[in-house]
Amino acid sequence: MAAPQIVWFRRDLRLGDQAAVMLAASSGPVLPVYVLDDDTPKHRRMGGASRWWLYHSLKSLANRLDALGSRLILRRGAAVDIIAEIARESGASAIHCLRHYEPWWRNAEKDLQKALGDIAELHRHDGNYLVPPGSVRSGNGAPYKIYTPFWKALREYMPPPQAAPAPQRLVAPAEWPESDDLNDWSLLPISPNWAIGMEEEWTPGETGVRRRIDDFVRVAARYHEGRNLPSQDLVSRLSPHLHFGEISPARIWHGVAGQGSDVTTYLKELVWRDYAQNVILQFPDYGSRNARSQFDKFPWRDFDDPDVQSDFKRWTSGQTGYPIVDAGMRELWATGWMHNRVRMIAASFLIKHLLIDWRQGEQWFWDTLCDADYASNAVNWQWVAGTGVDSNMFVRIMAPLSQSEKFDAGGYIRKWVPELADLDDPYIHDPEEYGCLPADYPAKIIGHREARQRALDAYAQIK
């Protein structure tokens, strides 16, 4: 029997259109391995919502592997050490993985090659993005920093190759290494079980994402308007599945692109995901450092101040007195996800209304989002804050109340802020202004005009 081929899974938990699986299967018996590694990412270990998703995604992948005559080996610890150890134990001749671009995984891939020495070869494959990050460059050979020219250049490479099917069978190695029990990893919340809403909303894994994309394809032509209308179910909700690699972006592209010219807006959002990886490839510390150095002197409110702590808590718990913001933050807590338009409104509110450093919000989203992707999360927060290499101007301050009415968010608010469920439009968007504030709903944490002026005054100090 040929030497085993290890497939090192990370955020690529699928068998279809998975180059590492395909190449391993064509070379010998396949030994699938997932390592729960909290050591390598350090402070970027997965948050609670992501760990909930990971449990169910790994369970789904394990079931699919069982059906092919294989199994998923689970280990916990430093991935480099464990993969090298399994390679030595099993006599594997190669390790196959998809490339990852978070700085800690890039370093781990280099360290693994060194740790393997002459034991086995490390084969890194592409497949988590439409094109390999860093491969689309300008005329002078430099990587793009701005999204629009990046989009124009990348679409010349589109469409991507057709998605490859999953293998029909995987040859098992002569012996299986020992494996942890998934239930021993304590990935699920127990007391209290705060994931009930997530259980109702999501079906992680390749089977769940197939249903999700089938549903979206039917309404994809309306995404251009739907991404701004939180009361209507016209967005894809594919981001957690994409983040965990349960579906390839190529498969989504081909599924959506044939639905007419109006799907271009959605395809551009798919490309934004590639763009974000392109950014962290150039700026690995993008999740913690302002891309525009002038903001290093920005007078954020002191986060250790009890009043600031109180304001932050009201934002996280959906008690700001701004219905659209509160609805979004409550949806996030309940489901691990938030509607596209509302994410921007909620992020802008924290940064510009409350004058709290964007990094505090980024960390909160990191812990509570199922789709907490390092690149996308950091790029999106810096875009809203005006601190990014490509970003909105800080002085463009979203008005949550008018945004709520403009994008018809009444139904969305009634769902997530039940204290306001009996209010009609337009009163529900700003009940305090209309004099119908319910007794069990808070007054505004700060007035919009007051907050706007405070933000502009702060910006003037660094302008």
Mean pLDDT of 254-280: 94
CA distance 443 to 319: 9
Task: Give 260's pLDDT tier (boundaries 50, 70, 90).
Answer: confident
Q: What is the pLDDT of residues 86-123, one digit of tens each?
A: 999 999 999 999 999 999 999 999 999 999 999 999 99
| Domain co-membership, 301 together with 276 | no
Q: Tokens 């409350």 belong to which residue?
A: 354
Within its chain, how far is the Cα of 82 from the centroid?
Answer: 26
Read off the pLDDT of each residue in 158-164 and give the average, rounded to a whole number. Answer: 96
Distance CA 207, CA 67 (A): 13
Alpha-helical runs (H) found in 29-159 = 48-67, 79-90, 103-116, 147-154
Report, as an integer, the average pLDDT of 361-387: 98
Pairwise CA distance, residues 165 & 146, whole Å: 34
Cβ-contact 131, 157 below 8 angstroms: yes
pLDDT of residue 120: 97
pLDDT band, very low/low/confident/very high, at 285 (cuts 50, 70, 90): very high
Does residue 259 sit in the same domain as residue 309? no
Split at pLDDT 50, 70, 90, the class of 261 is confident
Contact (CB, 8 A) for 154 and 131: yes
Tell me what pLDDT residue 1 has.
74
User: Of 282, 315, 347, which residue is a domain's last?
Assistant: 282
CA distances to 104, 365, 444, 448, 460 from 360, rounded to whole Å, are 21, 9, 21, 21, 22
Of 261, 282, 303, the last residue of a domain is: 282
Same domain as 320, residue 260: no
Which residue, 272, 277, 300, is CA-closest to 387?
A: 300
Q: What is the CATH number of the domain that holds 217?
A: 1.25.40.80
Q: For the chain, how many structural domains are there in total?
A: 3
pLDDT category of residue 201 using cuts at 50, 70 and 90: very high
Distance CA 4, CA 208 (A): 30
463 pLDDT above the threshold of 90: no
Centre a 10 Å sphere on the Cβ of residue 367 and count the other Cβ atoms it contains.
Answer: 14
Check pLDDT > 80 for residue 129. Answer: yes
**Three-state SS for 10?**
coil
> What is the per-residue pLDDT for 262?
85
- 151 lies in some domain: yes
Residues 329 and 370 in one domain: yes
For residues 128-140, give the mean pLDDT.
Answer: 96
Predicted pLDDT of residue 15: 98
Average pLDDT over residues 1-6: 93
Give the domain extent around 409. 293-460
Mean pLDDT of the chain: 97
